[in-house]
Amino acid sequence: MLYNKTMETERLILRNFKDTDIDALYDLLKDEEVNTYLPWFPTKDIKEAEAFYEKRLKGKRYAFAICLKDSDYPIGYVCVNEDDSHDLGYGLAKAYWHQGIVSEACLAVIDKLKEDGIPYITATHDINNVRSGKVMQRIGMTYKYSFKERWMPKDIDVIFCMYQLNLDGIDRTYQKYWDMHPEHYI
């Protein structure tokens, strides 16, 4: 079930994606630098952006467009998988980097997850994407372990750092990534 209301922060409005957001999504997904540490290649055309929207954002309960309060145009996204990983992911247009926007958006989503009774979230970042790890730390996540994965479709080996935030106060570590990948360490 989608949320039909928006969430507001000091500077942002977070809302569900709409079919009319494809152009904004394409602007974000075609940028090579924005997508350097993401598992997919930059989109080549609007059709690829539509396919991304259909597969990853449309109808997802915890997939939010990040918009500035003075505009309804998405400048990024924050999503949480609805599987047992409750994996947090985000992306932001380069013009808005280094302003705390993703941290602000993620904190609002975390409040919603707590309200909905989600027990924890996880997030991973490429070991070379230190700034993403800093976002995870700023929103209260704790480093748990690292693992090596063959990343498809890019077909490269990546070492991921896995972070977790337990929202219900129970001390636990999500083990699935550890168990799935034979090369792992703390």
pLDDT of residue 2: 52
d(CA 32, CA 41): 8
Q: Is residue 2 part of a domain?
A: no
* Residue 166, in any domain of the structure: yes
The answer to whether residue 175 is domain-embedded is: yes
Query: What's the number of domains the chain is made of?
Result: 1
As given in the structure block, the two tokens for residue 107 are 């904190």
Does the residue 12 lie in any domain? yes
Tokens 């799935």 belong to which residue? 180
Tokens of 17: 């994606």
Range of the domain at 74: 7-185
Q: Does any domain span residue 1?
A: no
Please tell me the predicted confidence (pLDDT) of residue 40: 85
- Asked if pLDDT for residue 66 goes beyond 70, the answer is yes
Structure tokens of 91?
A: 């992306």
Task: Express each pLDDT in 90-106 by its tens digit.
Answer: 999 999 999 999 999 99
DSSP H stretches of helix in 30-150: 46-52, 101-115, 130-138
Averaged pLDDT score across all residues of the chain: 95
Residues contacting residue 163 through CB under 8 Å, at least 6 positions apart: 122, 123, 124, 125, 133, 136, 137, 141, 142, 143, 144
Question: Per-residue pLDDT tens for 128-182?
Answer: 999 999 999 999 999 999 999 998 888 999 999 999 999 999 999 999 999 999 9
Indicate whether 3 pLDDT > 70. Answer: no
Asked whether residue 133 is domain-assigned, the answer is yes
Q: Which pLDDT score, from 0 to 100, does residue 152 have?
A: 86
3-class secondary-structure state, position 58: coil
**Domain membership flag for residue 65:** yes
pLDDT > 70 fraction of the chain, expressed in percent and rounded: 98
Structure tokens at 124: 């991973």
Look up the CATH number of the domain holding residue 41: 3.40.630.30
